[in-house]
Structure 1
Amino acid sequence: MSACQSQPQAGSSCSSASITPATPFVLPEGATPLVVRDAVVRKVGEMLAEEGDPNLKLRIFVSGGGCSGFQYGFAFDDEIKADDTCVEAGAIKVLVDASSLQYMAGAEIDYEEGLEGSRFVIRNPHAASTCGCGSSFSV
């Protein structure tokens, strides 16, 4: 899905991982791809302003590795690929490729600042367990 679509809680809907499913993942009709919280919109907006490139989008992806089997990755990307789902939230766009979306569909993406530092947090309904740092998970 390469076109942006409406997303009820985070605006509207629009990474490349090394994980390739046996059959291409297709988000069920009406399902929410990702929920992007306002704190993410603010922080990514600040980061994009520093980059100075209005074509950049936040790419979130899943790859093999980490202490729990899979790990999340974040990068800026200026290209929407054919298998990407694009979630538009406020002034930012978040991209997730089909391979990663099968592990993240319905996840909530947030940004937290605290005594331990600041970080992006993914609350994934498909994760059976996560590691202590929260950047890897198993299904």
Structure 2
Amino acid sequence: MTTPTQAESTEAKAPTTVVLSDVAAQKVKALIEQEGRDDLRLRVAVQPGGCSGLRYQLFFDERSLDGDVISDFGGVEVVVDRMSAPYLSGATIDFADRIDAQGFTIDNPNAQGSCACGDSFH
């Protein structure tokens, strides 16, 4: 048995970023293809607003900002800015296409509570 080096143990403790489910990745890929551009990525951000104080934003973006955290999910890049990253660490983005719900959903272990409409959290 080998002992991990300092670099390996540091990497293992690095915070996780947003996770994009396979279903969500397929939906994002299809939406980007509809746009007809290959330079777009899904940007996920947390902004002030909503009933509970913070609101999620998901949008396509071609920009690269200083400190962006970029993750690849089967060819779909997800970008989180450095200010939003701590709020989204370990959050899972999924896509629901059911009779009772349709659209992207975010399961965020960092959210301590959310409003009744589900659009914001604290």
Counterpart of 1:44 in structure 2 is 28
Q: Paired residue for 2:100, among 109, 113, 116?
A: 116
Structure-2 separation of matches of 1:31 and 1:103: 11
Residues 132/39 of structure 1: CA separation in 2 closer, same or farther (3 Å cut): farther
The CA RMSD over aligned residues, in Å, is 1.4
Counterpart of 1:92 in structure 2 is 76
Structure-2 separation of matches of 1:133 and 1:45: 27
Report if aligned partners of 1:56, 1:77 keep a CA contact under 8 Å in 2: yes
1:45-67 Cα offsets, whole Å, 9 max, x none, are 11000001101000010000111
- For the residue of structure 1 that corresponds to 2:65, the secondary structure is coil
TM-score (ref. length: structure 2): 0.84
- For the residue of structure 2 that corresponds to 1:46, the secondary structure is helix
Give the percent of matched residue pairs that are identical in Structure 1 and Structure 2: 36
- For the residue of structure 1 that corresponds to 2:106, the secondary structure is strand
Structure whose alpha-carbon radius of gyration is higher:
2
Report if aligned partners of 1:103, 1:126 keep a CA contact under 8 Å in 2: yes
| Bigger mean CA deviation after superposition, 109-118 or 122-131 | 109-118
Shift of 1:34: 1.4
Q: Paired residue for 1:132, among 113, 116, 119?
A: 116
The alignment status of 1:74 with 2:34, answered yes or no, reads no
Structure-2 separation of matches of 1:124 and 1:108: 6
* Letter matched to residue 41 of structure 1: A
Q: Quick check: which one's helix share is greater?
A: 2
Report if aligned partners of 1:121, 1:134 keep a CA contact under 8 Å in 2: no
Q: Paired residue for 2:19, among 35, 38, 46?
A: 35
Shift of 1:135: 2.1
Counterpart of 2:86 in structure 1 is 102
- For the residue of structure 2 that corresponds to 1:81, the secondary structure is coil
The unaligned stretches of length 5 or more in structure 1 are 1-27
Shift of 1:79: 1.7
